[in-house]
Amino acid sequence: MLEFLICGMSTVVEPILTPSSLFSVTNAFFYLLIPIAALWYAYFRMCRKRLYELAAEIPGPKGLPLIGNAYEFMGDSNKIFENIYVKSFEYAKDGAPAKLWIGPRLIVFLTDPRDVEIILSSSVYIDKAPEYRFFQPWLGNGLLISTGETWRAHRKLIAPTFHLNVLKSFMGLFNTNSRLAVEKMRKEGTKAFDVHHYMSEATVEILLETAMGVDKGTQEASGFEYAAAVMKLCDILHLRHTKVWMRPDFLFNMTKYAKEQVKLLDFVHGLTINVMAKKKAAFLENKQAALESGNAGDKTKTTEAAPQKSEPATKEKEVTDTVKGLSFGQSSGLKDDLDVDEDIGEKKRQAFLDLLIESADNGNVLTDKEVREQVDTIMFEGHDTTAAGSSFFLCIMGVRPDIQEKVVEELEQIFGDSDRPCTFQDTLEMKYLERCIMETLRMYPPVPIIARELQQEVQLKSTNLSVPAKCTVIIGTLKLHRNPKIYPNPEHFDPDNFLPEKTSNRHYYAFVPFSAGPRSCVGRKYAMLKLKILLSTILRNYKVYSDIPQKDWKLQADIILKRSDGFMIRLEPRKMKPKPATVATAN
């Protein structure tokens, strides 16, 4: 720029461009730049005066100028986890709020259920934190990151596709795919292996066949390849969350990670585009056939969620029971859009992608791009979370044979030595297994943090502190779930934490693995049902062992909580005992 200036003006101003005058032009430039920068900084601080005042009251480690506490995020993902988790105990004792600075960004951690309730139950604080923008190239404006009217409209459309009546129609597919996972694991014999690989593959394939309604065999990429690409994408996003210099797009785009991200996105989007194309072709074919037969109304509907053959006819009463059963001990009176059990009518009782394709058919409700973004969102949220949850569960069973034995006793009471598929009614009887799943989600919540951006100041309930507008609020589920005031002996795995008498006396927002309130997880009932079928099928077939004690597990700070040392287990084929003559409960 300076050279251009010099060359361009050379004939006119030649006499003044001696080396010493050049020096003075440069000097003048910097003399101007420094005051401008200082003025801008003063203005920036002034605008954020209130933020700094309120932040000063919140406990937290002292940061360095410019980078704040970004240095805490150095090292590998396990080191980062240890840094943040251990530090959080120094500052956020027994649920007190704590703060961190990442560069100029203020991050406030909330772990008291009363404060968590203020944020999660609100229909005002629904904006996702700016950190979610790194998901944009992948998930676009999908349900996870969208906000405002777009989010509201899409949530209203999508939530009914995870209604219990739809989920019941997936029973056969849940069973078949769970048995397939059991068969695939057989090749490991009795040696130790990382079970997360199998859980990711199974959860991707189950999603493809249920929510997406396509045959997994028709996909070019395997479920495992898709899951592996998603994991690498998450690693890159996580780098951008934790390394302050990777945050600006122009710097990130100069790194090798940007190129890697483009390749991974091509692959991941390739699968979703392929799924959509197949589904759309089937929809159009049906529509054409319906038009030809002059009966468009009935035939344009794609796979309606009708109960499958393996499932005995369900009575109305069961539906009500299951709403309770799969709502993970939710206190009565607290309902969200997934608990609404009104007569939703035939039309709405469609699986996820069927409904979206139909909605996009005339372009009024959704565009094709929006459908793809929702498919990408469900494919990600629906598989990685349950893969982590089921892997943690199996590792726990491996280190706690006493608990595993009780789960198996319950399964023997339900199934005996029969290898019949699991019915919907069976899942209602798996009370102890359900408690073990919930205790796993307490100790190892697959989504360890939920982040929102506040548009207005919030007065907390647990203290007299306020959280300023324009900061990132983080609900630390992992820390909240291990608060000794709420869970005595929180590092001990105890399914009895979820006995009805315990849950009814606990603050509802003290257990939020699926978040809660208007932005709660839309797939939580799907997840609980799938986990019960997958995990019971595995335990009916194998004894699980794990050689690494729970206290030595290395957790990794990531978008989805995982073990950085892998989910190593060993299996031994199991013979179930015949069903006892009198049915007792395992509680």
- CB 162, min distance to ligand HEM, A: 7
Give the whole-angstrom CA distance, residue 66 versus residue 433.
Answer: 49
Q: Which residue's CB is nearer to ligand HEM, number 450 or number 571?
A: 450
Q: Which residue's CB is nearer to ligand HEM, number 135 or number 415?
A: 135
How many CB atoms sit inside 10 A of residue 46's CB?
A: 9
Q: Is 422 annotated as a binding residue?
A: no
- CB 392, min distance to ligand HEM, A: 10
Residues that bind ligand HEM (CB under 6 A): 143-144, 155, 211, 377-378, 381-382, 385-386, 389, 446-447, 450, 513-515, 519, 521-523, 526-527
The two three-digit tokens of residue 564, written as one number: 């950085």
- CB 547, min distance to ligand HEM, A: 25
- CB 208, min distance to ligand HEM, A: 11
Q: Which of 144, 217, 152, 211 has the alpha carbon at shortest distance from 180? A: 217
How many CB atoms sit inside 10 A of residue 554's CB?
A: 16
- CB 175, min distance to ligand HEM, A: 17
Q: Which residue's CB is nearer to ligand HEM, number 54 or number 397?
A: 397
Give the whole-angstrom CA distance, residue 332 versus residue 351.
Answer: 28
Query: Which residue lies nearest ligand HEM, judged by its C-beta?
Result: 523
Residue 349 forms beta bridges with which residues? Answer: none
Q: What single string gives the DSSP state of each residue in 507-532?
A: -GGG--TT--GGGS-TTHHHHHHHHH
How far, CA to CA in Å, does 542 sit from each of 26, 37, 185, 405?
Answer: 75, 66, 10, 12
- CB 446, min distance to ligand HEM, A: 4
Residues 6+ apart with CB under 8 A from 165: 305, 319, 344, 349
- CB 515, min distance to ligand HEM, A: 4
Residue 68 forms beta bridges with which residues? Answer: 64, 102
- CB 129, min distance to ligand HEM, A: 9
Q: Which residue's CB is nearer to ligand HEM, number 325 or number 523?
A: 523
Alpha helices (H) along 9-144:
10-13, 19-47, 49-57, 77-91, 113-120, 136-139
How many CB atoms sit inside 10 A of residue 213's CB?
A: 22
Q: Which residue's CB is nearer to ligand HEM, number 72 or number 384?
A: 384
Q: Which residue's CB is nearer to ligand HEM, number 72 or number 373?
A: 373
Residues 6+ apart with CB under 8 A from 586: 406, 407, 409, 410, 413, 431, 432
How many CB atoms sit inside 10 A of residue 25's CB?
A: 13
Q: Which residue's CB is nearer to ligand HEM, number 155 or number 554?
A: 155
Q: Which residue's CB is nearer to ligand HEM, number 70 or number 438?
A: 438
**CB distance 190 to 570 below 8 Å:** yes
Which positions make up the binding site for heme? 521
Which positions make up the binding site? 521
